[in-house]
Structure 1
Amino acid sequence: MLITFLRHATAQEHSLAKADTDRALTDKGIKQVKRLAAFCERNQLIPGNLFCSPVLRAQQTADLLHAYLPGCPAAQSTDWLAIGAAPHQIREQLNLLANHGGEDIWLVGHEPDFSECIAQLLNTSADVLCIKKASLTRLEVDFDSPHSATLLWSLPCALMR
């Protein structure tokens, strides 16, 4: 199974007046997703399935990717990608998707959840990972074999020119 982790794009700063879950993408964040979509189109990186956190900034990131990347499926919002998702929960859901024929899964979510999940899949420490906003990180994982994940690549949005 190919798994592509897309951290949400740049969002509004934390504020006492607004709940963390209600922070929207900034203009910079919108531009990041458009750049990411153009990069994906040029490199024929089209999600087979797209899942996202129910948090506004992740939904906006997924919706913009769908809008600007031809062939990108609409995102399915799922609680197992919400802020604070435990790595083992994400892994369990990915295993279920793999068992049901999922081959190319894209996830839109948050830090440090993604670093922790990726680290668990790679059998390493999350301290060695840096998942930037609007970045793509791709793994190949065989859930039938323990410790069989391979990091294929990780690319920050700033290099998607």
Structure 2
Amino acid sequence: MEIYLVRHAEAVEQAEGLEDSTRWLTKKGRKAMQKAASRLHKKRVRPDQIITSPLTRAVQTAELLMAEVGSHAELSADSRLAPESTADQVVELLHSRQKLKSIMLVGHEPLLSQTAALLLGKEQVAGLGKGSCLCLEPRLKPGKPARFLWLAPAGGKLISSVKKVLVPVQ
């Protein structure tokens, strides 16, 4: 199974009277996500399922991804991808879908980088920028950490070196 962890694109800033859960993507965020999704399409990313946080900005990001890479995929929302969730809950979600060939999870920081660190068996992983996609491959043997495949930062070149995404222990 390939796991794609995608952070939502740029959203409007938090403001008085605006619920965090209803913050929507900015015009710049939409445009950047469309470009990022197009690059993923060219990389032949085709998830079997896209699961998103139920927050507006994540759902909108997932819809933009669906248009480029997931037209055949099932799209759903899961509260285990909401900002207040834990990496253990996200891993539980992944285990419940382990028969899929590939899955894309759209969510928030720091939850996604915490999940990546847990899957990779690392203490910490650098945070994902808005609109970035991290690709991992779980190992078949239980207890073995996942394998880093690549990181596609929004608007940047593909990173295939795990050393560039790990945070050095101080």
TM over 0.5, shorter chain: yes
Unaligned ranges ≥5, structure 2: 159-170
Partner of 1:151: 148
Partner of 1:129: 126
> Are positions 1:141 and 2:138 aligned together?
yes
How is 1:64-83 mapped onto 2 (pairs within 5 angstroms)?
Answer: 64-69=64-69, 71-83=71-83
Q: Is the 8 A contact 1:39 1:160 kept in 2?
A: no
Partner of 2:161: none
As a proportion of its length, which structure holds more helix?
A: 1
Q: In structure 2, how many angstroms separate the alpha carbons of the residues matched to 1:72 and 1:62? A: 14
Note the C-alpha offset of 1:84: 1.5
Aligned residue pair count:
158
> Root-mean-square deviation (CA), in Å?
1.8
Q: Is the 8 A contact 1:95 1:143 kept in 2?
A: no
Unaligned ranges ≥5, structure 1: none
How is 1:38-53 mapped onto 2 (pairs within 5 angstroms)?
Answer: 38-53=38-53
TM-score (norm 2): 0.86
Q: 1:78-130 deviations in whole A, cap 9, x for unaligned?
A: 111111111111111111211xx11201000000000111111111122x412
SS at match of 1:157: coil
Q: 1:35-70 deviations in whole A, cap 9, x for unaligned?
A: 012112222111111000000000000011112446
Percent of pairs identical after alignment?
32
Q: In structure 1, how many angstroms separate the alpha carbons of the residues matched to 2:140 and 2:92? A: 10
Q: Is the 8 A contact 2:8 2:57 kept in 1?
A: yes
Relative distance call for 1:131 and 1:30 in structure 2 (3 A) is same
SS at match of 1:3: strand
TM-score (norm 1): 0.90
1 or 2 for the larger relative contact order (CA 8 Å, sep ≥6)?
1
